[in-house]
C-alpha cells in the first residue's frame, strides 16, 4: 500500500509540474505553413513544429531553445531572442524524398501583456535527402523551405 501511495503521489506531482509550465500553441508561416507548440522548461523551451514544408512535403521538427531576454525594453510586453538545436524528419511527396536531419533555430519574439506571442525565426534542417532505391544527396531545400517563418501563438 505504501508503494502504491508513493507512486500515486509521484505521478500527481509529475502531472502538476508538467501543466504548471508556460505553454504556447499557434502556427508558423513562411515558405510553408506549420502548427507550432512550445512548452516551457525552466527558463528555456521545447518547440515542436509540424506542417507543410514549401507546400510540397511534410515535416516535423523538435528543438530545445535557450531564451535570452532583451532587458533594455522598458514598456509593456517582453522581448526575447532565442537559439536552439534539435532534429527533424520530412517527406517531399512530389519527388518521394526523405529528409532526416539536424535542426538549428535562431529568432526573436515579442510577448504581449495579454496572451499573444509574435516571432520571426530561421530554423534550417541540415542533412541528407534520401531517395529510396536511388541514393542520397544533400537536402538544400532544408535551408529555406520552412526555415524563415513568422510565428503567432496563444500563450497559456
Interatomic CA distance for residues 54 and 115, integer angstroms: 29
pTM (2 decimals)? 0.83
Q: If we measure between CA atoms, which residue out of 121, 118, 86 comes closest to residue 107?
A: 121
The CATH fold of domain 23-155: Porin (2.40.160)
Domain ranges of the chain: 23-155
Reading the chain (156 residues) residue by residue, the pLDDT tens digits are 666 556 555 555 454 444 446 999 999 999 889 999 999 999 999 999 999 988 889 999 999 999 999 988 788 899 999 999 999 999 998 889 999 999 999 999 999 999 999 999 999 999 999 998 888 999 888 888 778 999 999 999
Amino acid at each position: 500500500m505504501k508503494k502504491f501511495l508513493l507512486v500515486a503521489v509521484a505521478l500527481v506531482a509529475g502531472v502538476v509540474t508538467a501543466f504548471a509550465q508556460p505553454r504556447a500553441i499557434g502556427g508558423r508561416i513562411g515558405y510553408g505553413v506549420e502548427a507550432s507548440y512550445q512548452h516551457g522548461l525552466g527558463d528555456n523551451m521545447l518547440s515542436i513544429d509540424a506542417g507543410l514544408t514549401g507546400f510540397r512535403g511534410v515535416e516535423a521538427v523538435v528543438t530545445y531553445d535557450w531564451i535570452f531576454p532583451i532587458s533594455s525594453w522598458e514598456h509593456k510586453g517582453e522581448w526575447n531572442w532565442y537559439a536552439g538545436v534539435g532534429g527533424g524528419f520530412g517527406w517531399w511527396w512530389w519527388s518521394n524524398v526523405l529528409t532526416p536531419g539536424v535542426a538549428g533555430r535562431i529568432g526573436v519574439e515579442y510577448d504581449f501583456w495579454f496572451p499573444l506571442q509574435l516571432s520571426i525565426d530561421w530554423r534550417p534542417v541540415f542533412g541528407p535527402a534520401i531517395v529510396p532505391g536511388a541514393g542520397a544527396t544533400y537536402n538544400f531545400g532544408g535551408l529555406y523551405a520552412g526555415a524563415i517563418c513568422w510565428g503567432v501563438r496563444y500563450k497559456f
